Amino acid sequence: MSTTERSRVRRLPDRASYDRDTIHAILDAAPVGHVGFVADGRPVVIPMLFGRDGDDIYLHGSAASRLQRSMARSLDVCLTVTLVDGLVLARSAFHHSMNYRSAVLFGRAEAVPEAEKERALRAISEHLIAGRWEEVRPPTAIELRQTAVAKLVVEEASAKARRGGPVDDEEDLALAVWAGVLPCAPVWGEPVPDAQLPTGTPPSPSVSALRG
């Protein structure tokens, strides 16, 4: 991954990083990415499932019919993932902010060859819930053909994050209002068994592990 004018973080550059491990960690923690592409000269952004196997990033194409159709040829895309970590509540409206981590990857989406599809789908599955792939029936050849997957050939990438408490103006510190951070995190709830599951079937190890 390289850095040019396109991916260089211009606003608040002290919040930026171009480190591969930092970018991968943000990708790995986000269940959904937002993929942007240009259709008829105008921007389209679609939420997509994705996965990573080493440096290879795969996009689950079924969510994006337009993307699917375009994938016969390679297509410029931007994959952005964002983790909201908390609200930063200052004493003035102006200094309110958000703690977050985000990664922005520029590249080209290319169709995944049939021979690579199972690896790609496994990466997407592992990304969402590690270990599940081994517990369930693997895809048949017909199912693989029916599933569109794209590989994101990354050209540039950057990460950005804000952490810590509010930064208030000195003269606002005496204001009688609570200030600080309200943390936010996605939480997995109680598993809801399928109606046709035999009563008493325990959640599989992948489900229990994800709930921690």
Site for its own copies in 30-89 (CB under 8 A): 31-32, 34-47, 49, 62-66, 76-80, 82, 84, 86-87, 89
Sequence-distant contacts of 111-120: CB under 8 A, at least 24 apart? 111/71, 111/72, 111/148, 111/149, 111/150, 111/151, 112/58, 112/149, 112/150, 112/151, 114/144, 114/145, 116/151, 117/144, 117/147, 117/149, 118/144, 119/53, 120/51, 120/53, 120/56, 120/58, 120/149, 120/151
Interaction between residue 3 and its own copies (CB under 8 A): no
Shortest distance (Å) from residue 199 CB to its own copies: 12
Residues 84 to 123: which contact its own copies by CB under 8 A? 84, 86-87, 89-94, 96, 98, 100, 102, 104, 106, 121-122
Contact 151, 114 (CB under 8 A): no
Question: How many residues sit in the footprint of its own copies (CB under 8 A)?
Answer: 97
Distance CA 203, CA 154 (A): 37
Task: Determine if 178 is a binding residue for its own copies (CB under 8 A).
Answer: yes
Query: With binding defined as CB under 8 A, does residue 130 bind its own copies?
Result: no
Identify which of residues 24 and 131 has a Cβ nearer to its own copies in the complex: 131
Selected from 18, 52, 74, 129, the binder of its own copies by CB under 8 A is 129
Q: Closest approach of Cβ 49 to its own copies, in Å?
A: 7
**Does 133 interact with its own copies (rule: CB under 8 A)?**
yes
